[in-house]
């Protein structure tokens, strides 16, 4: 079935992909000057307003540039890749909806904020030195005007695309409105510093620490793992530990103070989220 392009109305969808090796990334430079990013001492010079593809095997890498200094990046086996952002700029994920004449398109309240300017639409802001891939189409691709689908006539289909801010403004095609909103100096990239993945899990109440100790050890081992096989082994072991921790929480439900349960929730969530990351950023060391 052929869907016509409509203004996007749904938040970005998480793209689920299978295991790949090597893993694909994009390095972007949306600024007016060249940017040099060194990966394990190999210099990559990215021209102004250019994105370049790169593939990395699972393992640890040292990244260095003028903006970020020197940091470590751990790439995990089976990851989904994403964007390496050496300028620490802001990005926007746009969702495009494709419909037929019979589709009830509906609406979704959403917005993105840039320089305190709010722009309504199905847009999600993304920041960080590494941004995990949560889009169908990266900086180097284009949204299609039509898509093919086997869905019924009354359904719709979606595509998500990543934009840097200049590309997002081109997508909006609203130059006069943007000039009025951002003023004579236009959009200014906010100051930003590298945010690192937490090196350890947060504190736990004593009632949970017996189950939490092996989780802490596995978490630290995974952050340091550079071999793809070891990464997969640790990831497989994480599931049972997480499930056992959940069983302990269920047994203590209603028997512990609320603040203790809040701490246990934060601990469990941080542990769980690590295994979903395709890569992490760590301090040099």
CB 83 within 8 Å of CB 25? yes
Check whether residue 28 and residue 138 sit in a common domain.
yes
Check whether residue 72 and residue 8 sit in a common domain.
yes
Check whether residue 107 and residue 21 sit in a common domain.
yes
pLDDT mean over 144-152 = 75
The confidence band for 153, taking pLDDT boundaries of 50, 70 and 90, is low
Check whether residue 173 and residue 216 sit in a common domain.
no
CB 110 within 8 Å of CB 123? yes
Q: Average per-residue pLDDT in the chain?
A: 88
The confidence band for 4, taking pLDDT boundaries of 50, 70 and 90, is very low
pLDDT in the model for residue 101: 60
Q: Give the pLDDT confidence of 54-111 residue by residue, as tens digits.
A: 999 999 999 999 999 999 999 999 999 999 999 999 999 999 888 766 554 455 558 8
Q: What is the pTM of this model?
A: 0.85
**Of 166, 182, 198, which one is at a domain's C-terminal end?**
182
Residue 162 has pLDDT above 50, yes or no: yes
pLDDT in the model for residue 154: 58
Helices (H), 151-208: 165-172, 175-182
Q: Which residue has the tokens 């937490």?
A: 198
pLDDT in the model for residue 108: 55
Q: Give the pLDDT confidence of 15-51 residue by residue, as tens digits.
A: 333 344 799 999 999 999 999 999 998 999 999 999 9
Check whether residue 61 and residue 171 sit in a common domain.
yes
Check whether residue 178 and residue 230 sit in a common domain.
no
CB 12 within 8 Å of CB 134? yes
Q: How far apart are the first and last CA of the chain?
A: 54
Check whether residue 173 and residue 40 sit in a common domain.
yes
What range defines the domain where residue 210 resides?
Answer: 206-277
Q: Give the pLDDT confidence of 226-267 residue by residue, as tens digits.
A: 999 999 999 999 999 999 999 998 999 888 999 999 999 999
Alpha-carbon distance of 223 to 225, in angstroms, equals: 6
The pair of three-digit structure tokens given for residue 203, joined into one six-digit string: 């504190």
pLDDT in the model for residue 170: 94
pLDDT in the model for residue 39: 98
Classify residue 195: in a domain, yes or no.
Answer: no
Alpha-carbon distance of 96 to 112, in angstroms, equals: 15
């Amino acid at each position: 079935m052929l869907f016509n392009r409509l203004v996007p109305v749904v938040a970005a969808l998480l793209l689920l992909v299978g295991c790949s090796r090597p893993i694909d990334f994009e390095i972007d430079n949306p600024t007016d000057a060249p940017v040099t990013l060194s990966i394990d001492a190999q210099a990559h010079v990215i021209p102004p307003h250019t994105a370049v593809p790169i593939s990395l095997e699972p393992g640890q890498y040292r990244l260095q540039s003028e903006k970020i200094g020197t940091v470590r990046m751990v790439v995990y086996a089976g990851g989904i890749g994403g964007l390496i952002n050496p300028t620490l700029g802001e990005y926007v994920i746009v969702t495009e909806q494709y419909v037929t004449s019979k589709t009830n398109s509906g609406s979704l309240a959403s917005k993105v904020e840039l320089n305190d300017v709010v722009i309504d639409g199905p847009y999600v802001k993304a920041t960080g030195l590494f941004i995990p891939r949560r889009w169908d189409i990266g900086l180097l691709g284009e949204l299609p005007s039509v898509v093919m689908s086997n869905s019924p006539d009354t359904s719709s289909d979606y595509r998500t695309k990543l934009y840097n801010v200049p590309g997002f403004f081109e997508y909006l095609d609203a130059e006069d409105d943007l000039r009025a909103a951002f003023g004579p100096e236009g959009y200014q990239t906010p100051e930003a510093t590298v945010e690192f993945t937490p090196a350890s899990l947060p504190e736990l109440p004593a009632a949970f620490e017996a189950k939490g100790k092996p989780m802490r050890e596995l978490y630290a081992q995974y952050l340091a793992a550079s071999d793809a096989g070891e990464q997969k082994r640790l990831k497989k072991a994480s599931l049972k530990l997480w499930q056992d921790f959940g069983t302990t929480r269920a047994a203590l439900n209603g028997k512990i103070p609320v603040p203790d349960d809040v701490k246990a929730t934060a601990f469990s969530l941080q542990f769980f989220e690590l295994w979903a990351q395709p890569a992490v950023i760590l301090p040099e060391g």
